[in-house]
Structure 1
Amino acid sequence: MLPADVDPISRCRLPLVKREALDEEGQRHFDVNVDPNGGTLRGLIGPGGIQLHSSHLAALARPVNRYLRFETGFSPYTREVAVLITARECDSAFEWAAHEPEALKQGVPQAVIDTIKFRRPTAGLPAEDALIIALGREIFGTRKVSSQTYAKALAHFGQKGLVDLVSLMGNYAATAALLCAFDMQVDDDTTALLPA
């Protein structure tokens, strides 16, 4: 049962944007969102559809999103570990439901996913995974990155890589805020759920 203020079609507090109601720029971004090869995991149901209510914002956000997801040089595996720790620390159920299956597809082991999902210790995980998880937990959990974690992350990723990694995580935290404010609901048949 959806909350009373959630639209049953968009599954959030805003209705789906109608293409014909958008200006030319907005229509281009609408078309990208509905294109199965457009780079979004969920099309109009999710952050892309929400952002279309501000089509200029959608236009500005798209190249940043594309860069952070596909052009930083991070492997899809590394990207998905960073996205999952962000989604988990922000308790973003929709983001988690979209990215847990994507992480599995990109080769992230279930043990790594479960460590993030259930907030388990990282002992025994690959060093890079443990480092990304520690960084995310400090950024979003304690809201202070320790000198030790920072030094390890800088040594591992380098200056550009660390800026890109933190920006990727920040971008998904911004998405989590959008999903939270508009109460984006996961699909009823979703099995990739965060614990309550």
Structure 2
Amino acid sequence: MARIPYADPAHPDHVDAAGHIVASRKKLGHLHRMLLHAPPIAKGWITMFDAVRWDSTLSGRIRELVMCRVAAINDAPYEWEAHAPLALKEGATQAQLDALRDWEKSDAFDATERAALAYCDAMTKQVHVPDDVAAKVRSIFPPRELVELTVTIAGYNCVSRVLEALDIKGTDPL
């Protein structure tokens, strides 16, 4: 059970933010129901993550692989369960998902994916990215995509931290 009850989307204080979420996502997920406790944050969250997911020029495969890698590092199963199917739809393979927890020892990833995953690991585990890792992604990704990659990794670290701190699971919030 989550650490606090899920917010009631029908509550007058939550209706506007709930409508904003549903307009974007077509449903209210567990995370969204929790975020409704802070309606301006819920709306801002959706706006930011819509930009990360739908307005980015970054490859969907890379985007979803780093989201899953963040989930693996942070032991965030709800995040993994949400994004592993999306990674497959975006062109990642089941072999890549199976190897993602120990990706450095796998030959399932190409040079671009390896650079993105190394960058993800550094950002998630160390915060400060070593110069050699930064130089590698900078040599592969144009500036816009590098910013999008960086914000995707940072953003989904935020997602996993909210999920885990509030103990949001994949069970029905009602």
Q: Same fold (TM over 0.5)?
A: yes
Q: If the TM-score is normalised by the length of the shorter chain, which range does it land in?
A: 0.7 to 0.9
Q: Is the 8 A contact 1:16 1:44 kept in 2?
A: no
Q: Comparing both chains, which one has the higher relative contact order based on Cα–Cα distances under 8 Å and sequence gaps of 6 or more?
A: 2
1:28 correspondence with 2:16: yes
Match of 1:148 in 2: 132
Aligned positions, number:
172
1:75, CA displacement in angstroms? 2.6
Counterpart residue number, 2:109: 125
Q: Which amino acid aligns with 2:52?
A: L
Unaligned runs of 5+ in 2: none
Contact 1:94/1:186 (<8 A) preserved: yes
With normalisation by structure 1, the TM-score equals 0.78
1:134 aligns with 2:118: yes
CA distance change for structure 1 residues 121 and 144 in 2, over 3 Å: closer, same or farther?
Answer: farther
Paired residues of 2:115 and 2:137 also in contact (CA < 8 A): yes
The structure with more helix, counted as a fraction of residues: 2
Counterpart residue number, 2:169 = 185
Residue-by-residue CA offset, 1:52-92 (whole Å, 9 max, x unaligned)? 11001112222111111110112322211121111112111
C-alpha separation in 2, matches of 1:164 and 1:22: 35
1:122 deviation in Å? 4.2
Matched, 1:14 2:29: no
Structure 1 stretches (4+) deviating beyond 4 angstroms? none
Aligned to 2:33: 49
Partner residue of 2:25 out of 39, 51, 60 = 39
Separation in 1 of the partners of 2:81 and 2:115?
A: 23
Unaligned 5+ runs, structure 1:
1-5, 7-11, 189-196
